[in-house]
Amino acid sequence: MKQLIARSKFVLAVVIAVSWRPRLWGTAFRQMVLLAPKGWLTRTPFLPVPAPDYLAFRTLTQYGSDDHHPTSRDVVEYLMWCGEMRRLAQR
């Protein structure tokens, strides 16, 4: 139960952080669609969140450890990076 509460707080913090940055809305939506596992509507929590093994991999590659807990700022910086990489790829 504690893990669910912590995850809910994290998701809320991310939503608030991204909502303050309209320039990231498109990137956030694009990443949500790209990273959502197939059939997410048929499994709890019925949210288009990336698979846990993908999140563990991203955490390991970003922080060098899979026991680090990302912050909403980390997610905002990741979305900014995704947007920049997409713009560079379109050149």
For position 7, what pLDDT does the model report?
77
Q: What is the pTM of this model?
A: 0.81
Q: What is the mean pLDDT of residues 59-67?
A: 86
Rounded to the nearest angstrom, the gap between the alpha carbon of residue 18 and the centroid of all alpha carbons in its chain is 11
Residue with the two structure tokens 């909502």:
19
Closest listed residue to residue 34, CA positions, set 47, 50, 21: 50
Contact 18/28 with Cβ under 8 angstroms?
Answer: yes
Q: Give residue 51's pLDDT.
A: 82
Do 50 and 43 meet the contact criterion of CB atoms below 8 Å apart? no
Residue 28 banded pLDDT, cuts 50, 70, 90: very high
Distance of CA 78 to the CA centre of its chain: 8
pLDDT at position 16 over 80:
yes
